[in-house]
Structure 1
Amino acid sequence: MLFSLGLIILFGILFGSFFERIKLPSLLGMLIAGIIIGPYGFNLIDKSVLNISGELRTFALVVILTRAGLNLDLDILRKVGISAILMCFLPATFEIFGIYLIAPKVLNISAIDSLILGAVLAAVSPAVVVPKMLKLIDEGYGRKSGIPDLIMAGASVDDIFVIVIFTALLSIRTGGSVSIFSIISIPISILLGILFGSILGNILSILFKKFNIINEKKILILLSISFVLLFFENTIKSTIPFSGLIAVMAFSASLKKKSESIARDLSKSFSSIWVFAEILLFVLVGASVNISYAFKLSYLPLIVIIFGLIFRAIGVNIAILKSDLNKKERLFTTISYMPKATVQAAISSIPLSMGISSGETILTVGVFAILFTAPIFAKLIDFSYKKLLIKD
């Protein structure tokens, strides 16, 4: 197991650094590293590591959502108004619907499996978007309009909304049924997560101010609470709808609101942890990809992905219709809301592990989405932000 983890880290760093040198996202290099050393490549990763890959991917998701929460400016989000709320679910809903329309015809999968695929593809990637928006905040671009905060908050909640939808659809696919409770549980789980997380963030702020705790221990406290929240969600989900991931981001954002200096220090430390978490996340999802099956699907996944992105773009523009953003800012917001990576890496292999007939197709299309959208839209964000946004 230790040998496998060593290989994952070394290959992830090596390939990630190479892709950065050629001006492409490092996560693409990590994905390819996983394909090479995974069971469909040279088979160098021990099965014990692959068996816990789901938990390791969840850890990576917790790190990126905590980091996003620690950098949110809630006051700016309030100024953005209803658009901030709509960005959390409307683009993803449009994309899921678009994929539901196209996937059965192109990929020959069932309607329910198309909805599951839509939920996998519909999330925007915090791994790509959050670092880009933090860079904009540092340089002062779009800050007055609240664009970095709008995109960062929307992307984070969008991910959790999609994960909740994905979990509900999986339950239906594996023998569950649609009920009124399963429908209303989605907004209730989000609201309870925000409420519980906000209370927790206020308590943590008081404790961190009252007691002299070193930064490293604060990080361990935040991570431990995050894991407990996820355990709590799994324990009570059959009776009380509750989103642990929403609570994770909410207590981070609440902590930032109450103590900006503490949040700033913690955010820097979580940036370092993310370097490790990112390697685990993308190398392990690359290891899950069956290359021969990917070649069999050929260009068909790209048709589905592009069709879904068109619907997503429509959803973004409807969400910001009532905002004060100008045409250039709306275009930048649309571009920034397109990259896929983190959630696709975290959940695209779950249907396959559960024995769902379209599982391999869902995983392969999820990886295609990362390889196609992450480099293109990451480049477009870097290329366009100085041209489309106003520097404060």
Structure 2
Amino acid sequence: MLLSISLIFIMGMCLGFICKKLHLPSLIGMLITGIVLGPFVFDLIDPSILNISSELRKIALIIILTRAGLGLDISGLKKIGRPAILMCFLPATCELLAMFIFGPKLLGLSLLEAAITGAVLAAVSPAVVVPRMVKLMDEGYGVKEGVPQLILAGASVDDVYVIVLFTTFVNMMQGEGVSVISFVNIPISILLGVVIGLLIGFLMSIYFKKIHIRDTSKVIIILCVSFLLVALEDSLKTSITFSALIAIMFIGVGLQKNRKEVAVRLSKKYEKLWVAAEVLLFVLVGAAINIDYITKVGVKAVILIFAALIFRMLGVFLCLIFSKLNKKERLFTMMAYTPKATVQAAIGGMPLALGFACGDTVLTVAVLAIVITAPIGAFAIDSSYKHLLKKS
């Protein structure tokens, strides 16, 4: 295992550095590292690491969401208003619609299979988007207009919305049917997540004010509470649940509102944690990529992905029609809402594991979406934000 960990970090960082020097996103190098080291090429990653790959990716996701919450300016979202709410579900719904239209024609899927494929494809990647929006907020680009705040909040809720839809469609495929309560649970889980996160953040701010401990200890406490929230959500068998990922992000928001100076210091700590988490996340995502699947579906899957992206960007455009953002800011938001990686890697293989006829197709589309959109989306964000957004 130690050899595998060494190879993951050394090769991941080296190839990431090389890509950065070539003016490409470093995550491309990390994805290539995962493909090369993964079980489908040289098989140099210990099976025990691959067995807990989903948990390790979830830890990385927790780190970036907490970091996002610590830097999220809610007042900026209030200025935007209605578009912020629409961004949570309308782009993903438009992308799902594209899958209904083109999936059966291009890949021969049934409508329910197209729905499952669309739910896997429709999520935006917090792993790509969140650190870049945090960077924009740190540098002051688009902050006054609320652009990074809008994308941050929308991307987080977008994932919850898509995962709930995916679970619903899987239940339908298994013959369990679907109830109204499963759709009612979407807004309730989001709202409960916000309330729980703000409450925990508020209680932590009081505790940190009265009990003086090192910032590193505070980070450990927040991480442990975040892990407990995820474990609690997974263990709940009730019809109504809460979103642990939303709660985790709003812990940071609650801390920021009540202990601004502490939130700033903790954000720096999380920034350092992300250096290691980013490498681990994208190398493990790369390790899940099976090159054989890509060659089987080929060009049709690529066309389907780009068609879905066009519909997603159209959805973002519709969200921003009556907003105060100018044309350049709207264009940036549309591009920033396209990368995919984390959710696709997490749930893309589930239909195959459940024995669905569309399992191979879903996994292939998910993998291709990661390979195509993560680098292109990250590159589009990194190369355009200084030209399209105003610096405060």
With the shorter chain as reference, the TM-score category is: over 0.9
Displacement, 1:69? Answer: 1.1
2: CA distance between counterparts of 1:98 and 1:243? 27
Q: What pairs up with 1:124-273 in 2 under 5 angstroms?
A: 124-273=124-273
Distance 1:175 1:28 in 2: 40
Please list, as runs of the form range in 1=range in 2, the aligned pairs for 1:208-357 lying within 5 A after superposition: 208-357=208-357
Any conservation in 2 of the 1:205–1:258 contact (CA below 8 Å)?
yes
Structure 2: distance between partners of 1:22 and 1:190: 40
Assess, with a 3 A threshold, how the Cα gap between structure 1 residues 156 and 118 changes in structure 2: closer, same or farther.
Answer: same
Measured in 2, the distance between the counterparts of 1:186 and 1:160 equals 8
- For 1:359 and 1:366, the matched residues in 2 are separated by 11
Is the Cα–Cα contact under 8 Å of residues 98 and 308 in structure 2 kept in the other structure? Answer: yes
Instruction: Provide the C-alpha distance between the structure 2 equivalents of 1:32 and 1:110, rounded to a whole number of angstroms.
Output: 33
Q: 2: distance between equivalents of 1:142 and 1:260? A: 21
Residues 354 and 255 from structure 1, CA distance in 2 versus in 1: closer, same or farther, beyond 3 angstroms?
farther
Query: Contact 1:289/1:363 (CA < 8 Å) preserved in 2?
Result: no
In structure 1, give the amino acid aligned to 2:218. K
Name which of structure 1's ranges 343-352 and 142-151 shifts more when overlaid on structure 2.
343-352
Tell me if the contact between 1:230 and 1:245 (Cα under 8 Å) persists in the aligned partners: yes
Q: Secondary structure at the match of 1:391?
A: coil
Query: Quick one: structure 1 residues 290 and 235, their matched pair in 2 at CA, closer, same or farther if it must change by over 3 Å?
Result: same
Kindly state the Cα deviation for residue 285 of structure 1 after the two structures are TM-superposed: 2.2
The one-letter code sitting in structure 2 at the alignment partner of 1:118 is G
- CA, structure 1 residues 15+363, in 2 after alignment: closer, same or farther (shift >3 Å)? farther
1:68 has 2:68 as partner = yes
1:353 deviates by 3.5
Change (3 A) 1:350 1:132: same
Is the 2:198–2:250 contact (alpha carbons within 8 Å) kept by the matching residues of 1?
A: yes
Listed one character per residue, the Cα deviations across residues 120-169 of structure 1 (whole Å, up to 9, x for unaligned) are 22122222222332333233322221112111221222222222322333
SS at match of 1:168: helix
Counterpart AA for 2:304: V
User: How far apart in 2 are the matches of 1:148 and 1:33?
Assistant: 29
The Cα offsets for residues 311-352 of structure 1, whole Å up to 9 and x where unpaired, read as 111111111122111222211211221122232233323333
Counterpart residue type for residue 48 of structure 2: S
Judge conservation of contact 2:181–2:239 (CA < 8 Å) in 1.
no
Matched residues in 2 for 1:185 and 1:295: separation?
39
Deviation at 1:55, TM superposition (A): 1.3
Aligned-residue offset at 1:306: 0.8
Alignment-mate amino acid for residue 174 of structure 1: Q
Structure 2 unaligned residues grouped into runs of 5+: none
What residue ranges of structure 1 are gaps of 5+ in the alignment? none
CA contact (8 A) 2:27 2:375 kept: no
CA separation in 1, counterparts of 2:141 and 2:57?
32
After superposition, the Cα gap between the structure-2 partners of 1:367 and 1:28, relative to the gap in structure 1 and judged at 3 Å, is: farther
Structure 1 residues 371 and 186: alpha-carbon distance in aligned structure 2, compared to 1, 3 A threshold: same
Distance 2:256 2:348 in 1: 32
Bigger shift: 291-300 or 302-311? 291-300
2:17 maps to: 17
Residue 63 of structure 1 aligns with an amino acid whose one-letter code is: I
Aligned partners of 1:45, 1:135: CA distance in 2, in Å? Answer: 31
Deviations 1:53-75 (A, max 9, x none): 12112112211211111110011
Deviation at 1:184, TM superposition (A): 0.9
Residue 52 in structure 1 maps to residue 52 in structure 2: yes
Q: 1:295, 1:310 → 2: CA distance?
A: 23
Distance across 1 between alignment mates of 2:379 and 2:161: 26
- Whether the 8 Å CA contact 2:190–2:246 is kept in 1: the answer is yes
1:383 aligns with: 383
Contact 2:8 2:280 in 1 (8 A): yes
Report the TM-score, using the length of structure 2 for normalisation. Answer: 0.94
For residues 230-276 of structure 1, the C-alpha deviation after alignment (integer angstroms, 9 at most, x for no partner) is: 11112224343221111111222221222222112112211222222
Alpha carbons 1:202, 1:255 under 8 Å: kept: yes
Separation in 2, partners of 1:32, 1:159: 25
The letter for the 1-side match of 2:153 is A
Q: Relative to 1, partners in 2 of residues 1:290 and 1:208: Cα closer, same or farther, differing over 3 Å?
A: same
Shift of 1:224: 0.8
Distance 1:284 1:78 in 2: 37
Q: Distance in 2 between matches of 1:384 and 1:145?
A: 16
For the residues of structure 2 that align with 1:77 and 1:385, how far apart are their CA atoms? Answer: 19
1:87 deviation in Å?
A: 1.0
Moved more, 130-139 or 181-190: 130-139
After TM superposition, give the deviation of residue 389 of structure 1 in Å.
2.3
Q: Name the counterpart of 2:43.
A: 43
Identity of aligned residues (%): 53
